[in-house]
Amino acid sequence: MAARTGRGLREGAVRGGAPFRWAGPPRGDLPGGGVRGGARARGGAAMAGNGAEGLYSRQLYVLGGGAGRLAGAAVLVSGLRGTGAQVAAALALAGTGRLVLHDRGAARTADRAQQFLLGESDVGQNRAEASQQALAELNPRVAVAAHTGELSEAFLASFQVVVLTESTLEEQLRVGDFCHARGICFIVADAKGLAGQLFCDFGDRFVVEDPAEGDPVRAVVQHISQDNPGVVTYVGAEDSRGHLFCDGDLVTFSGVEGMTELNGREPIPVRVLDTFRLEIGDTSSFSPYRRGGLLSQVRLPQVHSYEPLRRALAEPRIRVASPEELPRSRSLHAAFQALHAFRRERGRLPRPRATADAERVLELAQSLAERQGPLDEDVVRAFASVSAGDLCPVAAVVGALAAQEVLKVVTGKFLPLEQWLYFDALECLALEGATRLTEGDCAPRGSRYDGQIAVFGAAFQEQLGRQKYLVVGAGAIGCELLKNFAMMGLAAGPGGELAVADMDTVALSNLHRQLLYRSADISKPKSVVAAAAVRRMNPDVKVTAHQNQVGPASELLYGDDFFQRLDGVASALDTLEARAYLESRCRRCRTPLLDSGTEGPRGNVLAMVPPVTKPLGPAGAPGDGTIPLCTLRYFPYTIQHTLQWARNEFEGLFQLPAEDVNRFMADPAFPEQLPPQEALEVLERVRGSLRERPRSWGDCVRWARRRWQSQYHDAIAQLLHAFPPEHETSPGVPFWAGDRSCPHPLVFDPENDAHLEYILAAAHLFAQAHKVPPRRDRAAARAILRSVVLPPFVPQEKLQIPVAEEREEAQAPVDGGRLVELTRDLLQWRQELMGGEEVKMPLMDPIHFEKDNAIHVDFITAASNLRAENYGIPPADWLTSKRIAGRIVPAIITTTAAVAGLACLEVYKLVWGCRDPSCYRNSNLCLSDCLLLRVQPLPPPTYQYGGREWSCWDRLEMRAACADGQEVTVQEVLDWLQSMHGWTVTKLLRGDTLLYDREEDEETQTRQRAQRLSENLENAGELRQRELELLYVCEGEDAETEDTRPPLVCSLP
């Protein structure tokens, strides 16, 4: 599919588990939810308020406040084979309140290649009943029931959403008619072979309360012109990238000084001029703009109308990423209907690779196409020839898409599908080897893999079992990959190996999207738990757990030999650095790499297949996000600024002082090793901590009160003393303008909950750091606070406050006498403390910020919002503060499951050993708009060197061993390049280590040429490796060829 412009698929790529880079991350949770006929759907208490926030926090950032309704939702999933199992598992993990499973069939051996909820002992049992216990264990908060009877109208009437999988067209029409008439949202999800179908009918009037990702955009106004139309200049948040607004967006204004006519007006439509300017209509008669103001996007609910299935079959509205995709999707629309007709006619699905059966399906489709438009006969034949197959990756994609549509119904978040979506990976049938398969090759064997054999043949299944793969990262995507690999039988045969590497442990917040973990696994190593789960799903898989980080520090374990014997690597990493390293290792060893990543409803899969496709290269990283210190300290204008300031406060109050005190008590001479300025800062922190050392919780409350006064009153009053509200930078140019918001001091009130929350959180952490038992007694805290009397604020005269980053960086010279005096006083203080019997070492407990610690987030939220109040910045709620301060990537099970399914489709191609780049696909997914873009990866770039064309994958390979088995010398390497390629080398290097340089004197050259390769490297302190990649410069090269030459790889004996 081709990309869609606007707010659908945007440029960029997501890699690993790192933040998705198409757009800025969602900005927290909003109230919202889907409603029928204008009435709000009932969804129960908000997840954040019922004790489940720790479990669902990453999902809440995706679904917003409407996620609270999931606990009150009732959903039926009918058909518990691969697709139904994926739908049900995703809904259970997401926290759907009541989930009923329906299936009238018994589990078969062949189901176990896609139905991951079934065990070997479940074969012969009813699928719904056999799946019930496994689903209930996924999330104890979800009530899971099984139903094995008819889908009667009385039974269906109790559900908010009905999902049919593996159903006949007759049943779909009957249930669809009833659901449409009764206002029940209805979904059909079906996977057949290498294709999938999704249909949604959400009734005549379905209201989407919040159609877009994240929260509505907010921006700080810098200027508004008096004109027709008026032009608004604004600045966005630090993490915003590209255009914040689109043409037609509605906005409101607040806090504007001067042009006050804009404040409180009805939403105004805008036209985008550029990244930081909007047109808003006629402002020529308004008062002149003076300063300040907030620009807020307004999202209005959208009403959508759906046709019932019976009508939508004949007049389909098909969702495609581009008009070019529509003919293919229409052909699949006819093919699925023809498949239903074939099954009615023959009582079975077409036999795999049976030409006569495929032609009959084509005939039936042609009769439908007469009414629906042209038909791509090749697509229909290909679809029919493998429609009896069952593939776990296809079920994962279709099931995940269907589950996301259920979540849209319940939460009212994101645009629902209108009304059909078709997905296929029929390019797999063009693989060399797949084209030669016969009906006998794909006939059932009585194996759990019969559904996969029906598509790819029995010999391919054996090859799949012999694969050696590494999965790096056992988080959300890693779990889904491992689940799929177990179902596929990857590494389940002789010689097969599956390694999973992850150094992390299971946390509570993992459980809502990481399928292989349960609450009993919390704090256990992820790789160990995941490997055990894979063995339970498929005991034949040879899986090993590695509790290591794959990185530079572990190259003795994961060296060239390790990577070169792998058939492929699946990456599910969560940092840019880790991903870049893994890419470099796979590129060096020419090991295929499948790189997957998600952020919220967006995800992608990138295939790197040496030497067929272009290397992945560096991800499109955003800016470093650094905020100027003067902005943080004096001139914040977004909530991101105040939250980063609060993070700095946390570290400066509860971590660094404790670390400094403990280090000083253990080694009072350590400041002597630091630069003078840093030594002075450290000793000041030590003195402050020892001077304020509390004896009781009451002391901690009084300390917190003094800190509150210092930060939210005195510091602001001092700033206004230096720069009063009417201060001008130059005549007529106000100082407090643009992105400088004029602050105001706060007055403490113990009855103000926001003030008290800060005191309680700060006192708790201060007590914890000083090993004093903390309390959360609000009444006692208020009583203490009422007794606190602080001296009045007296401004400091001539205090220099930097207004630009350049001045902030300038530092005054350190007073050497002050440093000596401070050191002497602290040494005496230390001696007195060390002599005290009640003192236990270490003296303090440093507290490191943890995003999943509620007290830590309490402090960050309170500290940030108070500072935001100082500067007139809209506050952030607890969850939003946690996300921004904790740098949390929003995540949801539906996206991870779909992305893992797409990645595993590429594994099939790698197992075939495909060398045709047209068969591979890079995938970009956007579940919020139900868009999927799959494109061919780019071919590897080429360049000219030495009179011929080279690919970026090409390299020169030399066996660096003499006839006697000894390692070659540098001279022999130079001779080899001369004899094999006619190149006269002037420089030879290994990384930064110079092995040979023709510009050196003769004596040095002679010594360099006589040395053996590893001898040079050992002298440079490098570890000896079996393969060395060398760089060289040849005679006659110009500057442009510096990075365009094939590397020389020497294999050492």
Active site residues: 630
Query: Within a 13 Å sphere around the CA of 454, how many CA atoms are in the beta-carbon half?
Result: 28
Phi, psi of 112 (to 5 degrees): -80, 5
Residue 215 DSSP class: S
Residue 959, helix vs strand vs coil: strand
Among the listed residues 406, 420, 303, 300, the one whose alpha carbon sits nearest the alpha carbon of residue 36:
303
Could you tell me the CA-to-CA distances from 717 to 255, 600, 728, 1042 in Å, in that order? 21, 42, 18, 58
Q: Which helix (H) or strand (E) holds 606?
A: strand 602-608
CA 240/CA 219 separation, integer angstroms:
10
Which H or E run contains 189? strand 185-192
Backbone angles phi, psi at 1019, to 5 degrees: -65, -30
DSSP class of residue 325? G
Distance CA 673, CA 818 (A): 17
Q: Give dist(CA 597, CA 16) in Å, integer.
A: 4
| Residue with the two structure tokens 């253990």 | 666
Reduced DSSP (H G I as helix, E B as strand, rest coil) percent helix, strand, coil of the chain, to 5: 40, 15, 40
Q: What is the dihedral of CA 154, 155, 158, 161, to 10 degrees?
A: -120
**Structure tokens, 17:** 């588990």
750 burial class (0-12, 13-18, 19+ CB within 10 angstroms)? middle
Determine how many CB atoms are found less than 10 A away from the CB of residue 753.
Answer: 10
Secondary structure string (H, E, C) spanning 19-68 = CCCCCCCCCCCCCCCCEECCEECCCCCCHHHCCCHHHHHHHHHHHHHHHH
Radius of gyration of the chain (CA): 33
Q: What's the rounded Cα separation, in Å, for the pair 811 and 680?
A: 13
* β-pair type (277-279, 268-269): unpaired
Assigned token pair, 1022:
């490098």
Q: Which of 998, 1009, 1022, 1019 is nearest to 969 (CA)?
A: 1009
Q: Burial of 467 by CB count in 10 Å (0-12 exposed, 13-18 middle, 19+ buried)?
A: buried
Selection from 552, 344, 385, 443 nearest residue 110 by Cα:
443
- Rounded-to-integer distance, Cα 561 and Cα 564, Å: 5
Residues with Cβ within 8 Å of 821's Cβ and at least 6 positions away in sequence, in order, are none
Distance CA 823, CA 834 (A): 16
526-537 helix and 476-488 helix, angle to the nearest 10 degrees: 30
Q: Bin 738: left if φ > 0, else alpha if -120 < ψ < 50, else beta.
A: left
Closest CA to 937 of 626, 634, 584, 617: 617
Q: Closest by alpha carbon to 209, among 269, 299, 296, 96?
A: 299
Q: Are 469 and 491 in contact (CB under 8 A)?
A: yes
HEC sequence for 607-658: EECCCCCCCCCCCCCCCCCCCCHHHHHCCCCCHHHHHHHHHHHHHHHHHHHH
